[in-house]
């Protein structure tokens, strides 16, 4: 949002229901600075509510839909899979179908690296099958990608699906690892570790995610085109070993396989992230971490 407002040529409508997945007060504080802006509009709607969305779409056309709304998290999805289905699948279908009705031809979908599921081949590739998810959350994101493919094929909507690898940085969700680890270490408390503590995954600084989303908004391609791209690279092995740990041998829930993110240069004309960045914006140097530059074939 900060990036679009700074560019001064966008009028932005934000749809959010401010649910209680984490504190709504934190979410409202994140958007507070934009509320008085002439080119920013906040509409409180649950994306499951098709009628409310339909009224919004009838008010004005949209050039691009950036669909980042979702119920997130692997473990919470095990506790309430129906809610995840309604929000992540029905909500996505509502937006795609309203894009069709209103003539919006650019659709960016925030998917997840979780779609790879039980994938023994590493590094991961966008062309890998995603038929073995290990959580309801992952299954809903894979379903969202398939819906994007369907609407791209049937109605000529240009869809870009971005598989995010855990995002960290400013305004990070308080339940995610970097935020949680830093808070627990500063408090001298144990860090919960799922699995045997040897898992590895990719983390991506939020500015790199924003650059990828922004590039996807501008992507020009023929109609009936759908692309999938990884967005992430900064690998952390056995993160935060400096602090005390509490191990939980829970392999099925340790959604942190060796995830290597690919480079999105060819798909989005956007440079890939290449190094771990400190969250306080002081650029501590780390060795560059490898990534692949590969985009999927057109649907």
Active site residues: 137
Residue 204 belongs to what H/E stretch?
Answer: strand 200-205
Compute the half-sphere exposure of residue 203: CA atoms within 13 Å on the CB side of its CA.
Answer: 20
Handedness of CA 229, 98, 39, 173 (dihedral sign): negative
Examine residue 123 and say whether the peptide bond preceding it is cis (omega within 30 degrees of 0). yes
User: Which residue reads 């073995």 in tokens?
Assistant: 132
Residues 6+ apart with CB under 8 A from 265: 271, 272, 293
End-to-end, the C-alpha distance of the chain in Å comes to 29
- For 284, residues 6+ apart whose C-beta sits below 8 A from its C-beta are 277, 278
Task: Kindly give the residue spans of alpha helices, DSSP state H, lying in 60-204.
Answer: 74-79, 81-84, 91-102, 136-155, 177-186
Report the largest interatomic distance among the alpha carbons of the chain, rounded to a whole angstrom. 55
Residues whose CB is less than 8 angstroms from the CB of residue 196 and which lie 6 or more positions away in sequence, other chains included: 247, 249, 251
- Please give the DSSP secondary-structure letter assigned to residue 47: T
Q: Report the phi/psi class of residue 282: left, alpha or beta, with left for phi > 0 and alpha for psi in -120 to 50.
A: beta
């Amino acid at each position: 949002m900060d990036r679009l407002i700074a560019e001064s040529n966008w009028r932005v409508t934000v749809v959010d229901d401010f649910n209680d997945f984490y504190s709504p007060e934190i979410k409202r504080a994140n958007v507070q600075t934009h509320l008085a802006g002439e080119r920013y509009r906040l509409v409180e709607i649950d994306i499951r509510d098709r009628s409310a969305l339909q009224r919004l779409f009838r008010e004005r056309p949209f050039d691009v839909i950036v669909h980042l709304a979702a119920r997130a998290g692997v473990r919470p999805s095990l506790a309430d899979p129906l809610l995840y289905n309604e929000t992540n699948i029905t909500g996505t279908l509502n937006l795609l179908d309203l894009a069709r009705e209103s003539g919006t031809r650019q659709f960016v979908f925030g998917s997840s690296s979780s779609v790879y599921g039980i994938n023994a081949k590493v590094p991961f590739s966008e062309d890998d099958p995603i038929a073995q998810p290990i959580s309801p959350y992952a299954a809903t994101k894979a379903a969202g990608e398939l819906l994007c493919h369907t609407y791209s094929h049937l109605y000529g909507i240009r869809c870009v699906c971005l598989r995010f690898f855990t995002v960290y940085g400013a305004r990070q969700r308080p339940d995610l690892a970097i935020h949680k680890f830093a808070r627990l270490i500063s408090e001298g408390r144990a860090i919960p570790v799922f699995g045997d503590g040897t898992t590895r995954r990719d983390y991506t600084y939020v500015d790199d995610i924003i650059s990828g989303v922004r590039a996807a908004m501008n992507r020009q391609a023929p109609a009936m085109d759908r692309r999938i791209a990884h967005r992430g690279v900064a690998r952390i092995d056995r993160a935060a070993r400096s602090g005390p740990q509490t191990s939980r041998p829970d392999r099925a829930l340790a959604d942190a396989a060796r995830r290597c993110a690919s480079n999105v240069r060819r798909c989005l004309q956007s440079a890939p992230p290449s190094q771990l960045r400190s969250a306080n914006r002081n650029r501590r140097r780390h060795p560059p971490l490898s990534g692949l530059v590969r985009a999927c074939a057109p649907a």
